């Protein structure tokens, strides 16, 4: 079952068997580098997430990850597919969030992140311009020190989660 998009010259074939659960599972396995940890994060059993990954690999026709006792590692094909799977999942979430905002009549939200040095020099003018253009929008600024590797991603993810849990309707600034 293929979905055909485009004209004869630029035809794109998308297999309709690929489901959101395949993409979410693949992305989480790649993030966690572990089937077990990904299964826990998604509230799946380990056999279920393993089966989902095998189904996705069968649909795309190539191994996307290699498995070992140490965890999983992306194949070259998996690295390419991961970028697009992440974008696809993010786009779907944004679309659903947009629908939810319209349904609930909530305000438009913009979350930006900046290093303190950038935030201090560039953001005041940018915030004034933003407020002039979108006075009813909620602006969230995430500012923190430049850290390396997973610490930065963990810090940013924690701050974004804090913003998502906070009541809407006000601009907030977070710093580490």
What are the pLDDT digits (tens) for 139-174?
877 776 654 444 555 555 555 555 555 444 333 443
Stretch (H or E) spanning 113: strand 109-114
- How many angstroms separate the Cα of 65 from the Cα of each of 19, 57, 87, 100, 165? 18, 9, 19, 35, 34
pLDDT tens string 78-134: 999 999 999 999 999 888 887 877 776 666 777 887 777 777 777 888 888 888 887
Q: What's the token pair of residue 123?
A: 């953001």
Burial 52-75 (b: 16+ CB within 10 A, else e): bbebbbeebeeebbeeeeeebebe
Which residues, at least 6 apart from 162, have a Cβ–Cβ distance to it below 8 Å?
Answer: 174
């Amino acid at each position: 079952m293929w979905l055909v998009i485009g004209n004869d010259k630029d035809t794109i074939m998308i297999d309709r068997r690929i489901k959101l659960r395949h993409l979410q599972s693949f992305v989480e396995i790649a993030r966690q580098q572990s089937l077990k940890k990904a299964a826990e994060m998604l509230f799946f059993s380990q056999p279920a997430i393993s089966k989902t990954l095998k189904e996705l690999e069968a649909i795309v026709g190539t191994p996307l990850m290699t498995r070992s006792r140490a965890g999983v590692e992306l194949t070259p094909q998996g690295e390419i597919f991961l970028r697009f799977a992440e974008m696809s999942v993010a786009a779907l979430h944004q679309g659903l969030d947009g629908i939810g905002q319209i349904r609930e009549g909530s305000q438009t939200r913009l979350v930006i992140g900046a290093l303190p040095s950038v935030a201090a020099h560039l953001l005041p003018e940018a915030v004034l311009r933003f407020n002039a253009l979108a006075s009813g929008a909620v602006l969230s600024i995430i500012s923190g020190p430049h850290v390396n590797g997973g610490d930065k991603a963990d810090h940013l993810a924690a701050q974004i989660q804090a913003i998502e849990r906070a009541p809407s309707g006000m601009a907030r600034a977070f710093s580490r």
